[in-house]
Amino acid sequence: MIPIAKPLMGEPEAEAARRAILSGWVTQGPEVAAFEREFAAFVGAPHACAVSSCTTALHLALLAVGVQPGDEVVTVSHSYIATANSVRYCGATPVFVDIDPHTFNLDPSLLEPAIGDRTRAILCVHQMGMPCDLRAILEVAARHSLPVIEDAACAIGSEILWDGNWERIGKPHGDVACFSFHPRKVISTGDGGMLTTANADWDARFRLLRQHAMSVPDRVRHGSDQVIFESYPLLGYNYRMTDIQAAVGREQLMRLPDILDQRRSLGARYRALLAELPGLGLPMEPSWARTNWQSYAVRLPRGSEQRVVMQSLLTNGVSTRRGIMCAHREAAYPRGSWSCQTGADGCDCGPETCRRLPRSEQAQDETILLPLFPHMRREQQEQVATSLRAALSG
C-alpha cells in the first residue's frame, strides 16, 4: 500500500528526543529557544515563537492583531477547518471568499467586496504549500489598513518571488505567518506550531499568551538568584511546545533542504507521468511561486466520480484523499456562524452549499490528493499513474 504521506524521521530524531528527556528540562526550555532561532534563520524572520500547533498559532496571531468578539475576519472556507475555527475562538465571524480554481488559493479580486466596517483582519492560506497571491492581497489590505495573517501550515520551505528575489514564506510578507509541524505537513514534531513576525511587540504578546500570560517566563525565573513572584495580567493559554518536540524539530530542520529537493523532483515527475491522462487537471504553479508540494492535487476529468476513482486506486494499493474541505459545509458551521461576501444577512443559501463559493465546493468535490513523500520510489509514482489511468478509463 502506498500511503498518502509519511514523515521522514529516524535515529537523529530519536536521539534528539532522548537528549531532551535526559537533560532534565522537558518543556519550553533551551531546545525550544534554539528551535525558534534556527527556524527564524531558515525563513529569514526577525522573530519566531514556538507553540503547540498551527491552530493555537493562528489563535494567538488573531488575538495579537486585535481581533475581538463581534469582529469579522476575511478568509477562505476551502481550507482545513482549523483556519476558520481560529477566527471563531476569538468570538469573531469568518467571512468566506471564493478561491482561484487553478491555485486553490484565495482569489484576491474577491477580497475588497468582502471587507466591511467590522473587518478586523485578513487571514490568507498558502494552501497545500502553494504560495497565495500575497502581493495582491497586501495591496488590498494596505488600502483598508488591515493586518494580514498568513496560514502557512503547509508552506514550510515554499518560496515567493519578492522584488526580484526568491524569499521563503514566513519572512513574513504579511504581518504574522503561522506554521504547522503535524505529521501530515512537510516536517514534524508530532504536533507543534510556529509564529513568525517582524513586530517585536506581537512576538512578546505570543510569548506571554502561550504560557498563561505569566509575567515571568520559566527560563527567567530558573536563571535568577533573586526570588521572583509572577503575576497574570491577562487571560492566557497553555499553548507551550515541549523541549522534546523542539529537539526533534531541530533535526527535522536540518533535513528540510533535502526534503524540499525530493518533494520538488517528485512534483516534477508527477507532471511528466500524468501529463497525457485525458481530461486530468494538473496543479498550477504561478511563475512567482515555488511550492513544496505538501499535497499534490489533481482535478478529475468531467464525469468521473470522485469516490469511485478513489476506491479503484485504493483497491490497487494507492491511498488518496479527497480535495481540501470547505468549512461552511460542515455541521460545525451552521448559518449565522459565518458569512460570505455579501455579509451575514445577504446569504440565503441552504446548508452545505453557498452560491458565492462555487469554486471552493467544486475543488472539494472534483479533486483528489495523490501520495507524495520523501523517499517515494520511482516505481511507486509509476504505480500511482498507472492505477489512476486505469481508474479513469474503467
Ligand X SMILES: *Cc1c(COP(=O)(O)O)cnc(C)c1O
Q: Which CB sits closer to ligand X, 202 or 239?
A: 239
Q: Per-residue x/- mask for ligand X, residues 89 to 108, rule CB under 6 A?
A: --------------------
Please report, as a single letter, which amino acid is at residue 328. Answer: H
273: cell is 507521468
Q: Does 151 bind ligand X (CB under 6 A)?
A: yes
Indicate whether 80 belongs to the interface with ligand X (CB under 6 A): yes
Kindly state whether residue 240 participates in binding ligand X, applying the rule CB under 6 A.
Answer: no
Is residue 45 a contact point for ligand X (CB under 6 A)?
Answer: no
3-class DSSP state for residue 318?
Answer: strand
Under DSSP, is residue 240 helix (H, G, I), strand (E, B) or coil?
A: coil
Task: Determine if 79 is a binding residue for ligand X (CB under 6 A).
Answer: yes
**Which three cell numbers mark 190?**
508530532
Report in angstroms the alpha-carbon separations of 251 from 12, 94, 256, 325, 360: 7, 36, 9, 31, 36
At a CB cut-off of 8 Å and minimum separation 6, what does 154 contact? Answer: 126, 127, 128, 129, 180, 185, 186, 292, 294, 295
- Give me the residue label for grid cell 489512476: 388
- 5 is a site residue for ligand X (CB under 6 A): no
Q: Which of 60, 92, 154, 248 binds ligand X (CB under 6 A)?
A: 154
> Residue 42 interacts with ligand X (CB under 6 A)?
no
Nearest CA among 216, 211, 219 for reference residue 235: 211
Q: Which of 7, 193, 267, 323 binds ligand X (CB under 6 A)?
A: 193
Among 67, 82, 124, 326, binds ligand X (CB under 6 A): 82
Site for ligand X in 252-281 (CB under 6 A): none
Q: Which is nearer to ligand X, 99 or 347 (CB)?
A: 99
- By CB under 6 A, which span of 48-56, 279-287, 337-345, 366-374 interacts with ligand X? 48-56
**Is the Cβ–Cβ distance between 60 and 195 less than 8 Å?**
yes
Segment 295 to 314, residues that bind ligand X, using CB under 6 A: none
Applying CB under 6 A, does 153 fall inside the site for ligand X? yes
One of 182, 250, 329, 356 touching ligand X (CB under 6 A): 182
**Among the listed residues 5, 16, 32, 53, the single contact to ligand X using CB under 6 A:** 53
- The region of 17-25, 52-60, 64-72, 138-146 touching ligand X under the rule CB under 6 A is 52-60
Binding of ligand X by 180 (CB under 6 A): yes
Residue 83 or 211: which CB sits closer to ligand X? 83
- Does 39 bind ligand X (CB under 6 A)? Our answer is no
CA distance 77 to 105: 10
- In 3D space, the residue among 75, 114, 98 whose CA is nearest the CA of residue 358 turns out to be 98
CA–CA distance, 370 with 323 (Å, rounded to integer)? 10
Considering only 7, 45, 48, 55, the residue that binds ligand X (CB under 6 A) is 55
Residue-wise DSSP of 135-189: HHHHHHHHHTT--EEEE-TT-TT-EEEETTEEEETTS-SSSEEEEE--TTSSS-S
Minimum separation from the CB atom of position 126 to ligand X (A): 8
Q: Which of residues 121-150 bind ligand X (CB under 6 A)?
A: 125
Of 360 and 380, nearer to ligand X (C-beta) is 360
Instruction: List CB contacts of 370: < 8 A, sequence separation 6 or more.
Output: 4, 270, 296, 297, 298, 318, 320, 384, 388
Nearest 10 degrees: Cα torsion 31, 33, 36, 42? -80
Q: Residues 77, 83, 188, 339: which binds ligand X (CB under 6 A)?
A: 83
Contact residues: ligand X, CB under 6 A: 53-55, 79-80, 82-83, 125, 151, 153-154, 180, 182, 193
